[in-house]
Structure 1
Amino acid sequence: MALKKPKRLKSPKKPKRSASPEVKQRYLDRLADVEKQNKTRLSNYESRKKKDNDLNRKIYG
């Protein structure tokens, strides 16, 4: 079974300039959380892919 590259989570919608500071801060917090999750997904995928490639080399030559 081939590994599929993970789908990235979408960034949250930017608040309007006239939005309150609390809304803007919430946006930044959500953005940081989404970026962290995307980074984690990608690193997990890369480690699984490396392990899969090593196993394939051992099995198939």
Structure 2
Amino acid sequence: IGISLPGTGEQPAAPVFIDGKKVATLRGATVAADFKQMVIDYIETRFGHGSAGRTAAE
């Protein structure tokens, strides 16, 4: 999951990509909070709720 932040002078829009595909464009004052929630949702969907507590080696 990744985000492309706007540069100086660009429209305040941040496209979001998940697994290589554009899935959303975030806009406004809540870009950071919205992206954070997307990351949390992605982790829960991809790895499930039971993955908490596992180590990187698992």
TM-score higher than 0.5 here?
no
Q: Which one scores higher on RCO, CA 8 angstroms, separation ≥ 6?
A: 1
* TM-score, with length taken from structure 1: 0.35
Choose between structure 1 and 2: higher helix proportion.
1
Choose between structure 1 and 2: higher strand proportion.
2
* TM-score, with length taken from structure 2: 0.36
Larger radius of gyration: 1
